[in-house]
Chain A
Amino acid sequence: MKVLVTVTESAEVADDFAIDDDGIDERHVTYDLNEWDDYAVEAGVQLVEAGVADEAVAVTVGPERSEETIRKALAKGVDRAVRIWDDALAEQALLDVSTKARLLAAVAEEEDPDVVLGGVQASDDGFGATGVALAERLGYEWAAVVSELDVDAEGGEANVHRELEGGLHERLTVDLPAVFTIQTGINEPRYASLRGIRQAQSKEIETKTPADLGVSDVTSRLELRELFVPDAESEAEYLEGDAEEQAAQLADVLRDAGVVAE
């Protein structure tokens, strides 16, 4: 049995970022493995370590820069990776969900996994839709926002918890093959070991273009029009001064509210 893990690099903007005509100034942006995908990678590697799966393969849609992110997944134990990119993809300001799903589905069809794992959402665009769209395109079953995952490969099913709102979990059984979107906190993502980092250097990252995958048109149906810093809605009274002065004023606020024992 094979596990396919969809990963993405996620952009993080610094506290003092600036927006110009071309979007966010790149100098204020850093890239890392998407937080949610880190948990999906861990879940995939654990399935291999437990002997449930034979191989974990990662797939990403991203530029050459994102190989650094993919290496992190490889260093944590993913066996090999596929990266999808070309110039036409680079021109899309906001790739639509359906295009991502078509590209990932083409790789999934080549790899034929029983379990596909990905993060619930990317921390930068927060779309949270790719995994379920991918499942629909593949004709796989799925569950979104999974906080517990127990794969019974022989039985051809998985017992999962979906994390609903307000501390409620839904228990369900899902037939395989299936896509699961993984919620943070489902496991404790490992740090890559030095040995893992060394091994990752020699693991294969295969590059494919949309054309290689039989996807001819990647033009997004979505247009990213504007980026702006939302109007500050803050009506907060700011407590000024050094830390001691701020603490003294804060202590007064707490005393006035009557919540501290004297």
Chain B
Amino acid sequence: MSAGDVLAVAEHRQGDLRDVSLELVSAGSALAGAEGGRLHVAVVSGDVDAYADELSVQGVDAIHTVAAGEEFNHDVYVAAVSALVDHLEPTHLLVPNTVDGMDYAPALAESLDRPIVTDAVEVDTDDDGLVVHREMYGSKVETTVAVDDGPFVVTIRPGEFSRAGGSSDPDVVAHDVDVDLDALGSTVEGYEAVETGDVDITEADFLISIGRGIDEEENLELVQDLAEATGGTVSASRPIVDNGWLDRGRQVGQSGKTVTPTVYLAIGISGAVQHVAGMKNADTIIAINTDPNAPIFDVADYGIVGDLFDVVPALIEQFD
């Protein structure tokens, strides 16, 4: 075991290194620094040399490349990262808590017989080992989870750590990992983008966005009246789209659209992290919610604690 060493696994898609990779470098270099270890970064599949260049930022001691296949495949990732873990024996293994991370980190942990803690928003160490901060109950409660004894696997929530920058000159080591690409149990056939529908919400100046608080499909009319009175565009959080009340093109959030309107009016939206990821960069954020502790108020510039069924009709009257 190389005490205090960290191995962070980078992520890329369709030829682009994803931002979360540099966030893992920040998280990983802080951990390695606290324990006098080294930060190793793994990059698997695709144009690994180009990704290694981009990952040569401050805090990175070594980059390990495994050129096998083009895009993400969990069998390849499990095989490649397992081989690197056997070779490097890091204490800490960091993986992005992304859709792809969720598709291989648990299998990796299971095959390495390491405990896994997912969706970390903060990572620390104390005398006993690793302490992970994570949220529960839709961000209403924060918890600290300690891992009895290392080594382990931690997945890191995107957007919580700064992106590492600067430049450095780490060792770049190419590894041959024996993966039979013809014998994989799952095969990626391609990608599809969700259709935008009749309106492009990313172009809107004023978004009136609704969430679970709207309760019933027929209450959508109220919000459409507000949109008509103000010239705003209606968008929504995930549950509204899952219910089929609005089309997928109207969904704001991690799995939907990222929007940056002048004003984002969130009505009856609690502000789950996946939603906030898609709207936090709006110029002005206004939230209407009955729950004064709703996380949406943490990102809001203006807040109204109140019942949307009282406030929205009164607001429509203001523009009649």
A binds B: yes
Q: A residues engaging B (CB < 8 A)?
A: 11-13, 15, 17, 19, 24, 94, 96-98, 101, 120, 123-133, 135-137, 141-145, 161-175, 178, 181, 184-185, 188, 221-230, 232-239, 243-244, 246-248, 250-251, 253-254, 257-261
A124-B136, A124-B137, A254-B265 are known; give 14 further A-B pairs, CB within 8 A.
A15-B290, A15-B292, A101-B106, A136-B107, A164-B191, A165-B254, A168-B13, A171-B192, A172-B187, A224-B145, A228-B142, A228-B143, A229-B140, A234-B300
Q: Which residues of B contact A253 (CB under 8 A)?
A: 263, 284, 286, 302
Q: Is the CB of A223 within 8 A of B148?
A: yes
Query: Which 9 A-B pairs rank lowest in CB-CB distance, beginning with the nearest?
Result: A247-B314, A185-B242, A243-B310, A259-B206, A251-B318, A236-B303, A136-B107, A129-B106, A132-B106
Contact pick for B241, options A97, A165, A185, A226, CB 8 Å? A185
Q: Is the CB of B297 within 8 A of A236?
A: yes
Q: Which residue of A lies closest to B129 (CB)?
A: A223
Q: For B119, B186, B261, which residue has the most chain A Cβ atoms within 10 angstroms?
A: B186
Q: Which residue of A lies closest to B241 (CB)?
A: A185
Q: Which residues of A contact B297 (CB under 8 A)?
A: 232, 234, 236
Question: In the complex the two chains form, what is the Cα distance from A244 to B188 in whole Å?
Answer: 54
Q: Which residues of B contact A222 (CB under 8 A)?
A: 115, 117, 145-148
Q: Which residues of B contact A185 (CB under 8 A)?
A: 238, 241-242
Q: Which residues of A contact B98 (CB under 8 A)?
A: 165
Q: Is the CB of B186 within 8 A of A132?
A: no
Contact pick for A250, options B141, B189, B311, CB 8 Å? B311
| Contacts A97-B109, A221-B148, A222-B147; A251 near B119 (Cβ below 8 A) | no
Q: State how many angstroms separate the Cβ of B213 from the closest Cβ of chain A.
A: 12
B89 at the interface (CB under 8 A from A): no
- A sample of 22 inter-chain contacts (CB < 8 A) reads A97-B110, A129-B116, A131-B106, A132-B105, A136-B111, A143-B186, A165-B255, A167-B257, A168-B192, A170-B190, A172-B189, A173-B189, A222-B115, A229-B142, A234-B298, A234-B303, A236-B301, A236-B302, A238-B305, A248-B314, A250-B311, A259-B231
Question: In the complex the two chains form, what is the Cα distance from A144 to B103 in whole Å?
Answer: 5
Q: Which residue of A lies closest to B186 (CB)?
A: A174
Q: Is the CB of B148 within 8 A of A17?
A: no
Question: In the complex the two chains form, what is the Cα distance from A254 to B105 in whole Å?
Answer: 45
Q: B residues engaging A (CB < 8 A)?
A: 13, 74, 78, 97-100, 102-107, 109-111, 113, 115-119, 131, 134-149, 185-194, 205-206, 230-232, 238-239, 241-244, 248, 251, 254-258, 261-263, 265, 283-284, 286-287, 290-293, 297-298, 300-307, 310-311, 314-315, 317-319
Q: Which residue of A lies closest to B261 (CB)?
A: A259
Q: For A141, A234, A244, A260, which residue has the most chain B Cβ atoms within 10 angstroms?
A: A234
Q: For B137, B239, B265, which residue has the most chain A Cβ atoms within 10 angstroms?
A: B137
Question: In the complex the two chains form, what is the Cα distance from A105 to B297 in whole Å?
Answer: 42
Q: Which residue of A lies closest to B205 (CB)?
A: A259
Q: State how many angstroms separate the Cβ of A188 from the closest Cβ of chain B.
A: 7
Q: Is the CB of B143 within 8 A of A226?
A: yes
Q: Is the CB of A226 within 8 A of B144?
A: yes
Q: State how many angstroms separate the Cβ of A98 from the closest Cβ of chain B.
A: 6
Q: Which residues of B contact A124 (CB under 8 A)?
A: 136-137
Q: For B103, B230, B258, B306, which residue has the most chain A Cβ atoms within 10 angstroms?
A: B103
Question: In the complex the two chains form, what is the Cα distance from A178 to B75 in whole Å?
Answer: 13
| Contacts A129-B106, A227-B143; A247 near B256 (Cβ below 8 A) | no
Question: In the complex the two chains form, what is the Cα distance from A260 to B233 in whole Å?
Answer: 11
Q: Is the CB of B103 within 8 A of A132?
A: yes
Q: Is the CB of B13 within 8 A of A246?
A: no
Q: State how many angstroms separate the Cβ of B320 from the closest Cβ of chain A.
A: 11
Q: State how many angstroms separate the Cβ of A241 from the closest Cβ of chain B.
A: 9
| Contacts A124-B137, A185-B241, A246-B311; A259 near B262 (Cβ below 8 A) | yes
| Contacts A141-B186, A227-B143, A243-B306; A164 near B99 (Cβ below 8 A) | yes
Q: Is the CB of B186 within 8 A of A175?
A: yes
Q: State how many angstroms separate the Cβ of B11 from the closest Cβ of chain A.
A: 10
Q: Is the CB of B119 within 8 A of A246?
A: no
Q: Which residue of B lies closest to A163 (CB)?
A: B255
| Contacts A175-B186, A243-B307; A260 near B230 (Cβ below 8 A) | yes
Question: In the complex the two chains form, what is the Cα distance from A246 to B291 in whole Å?
Answer: 16
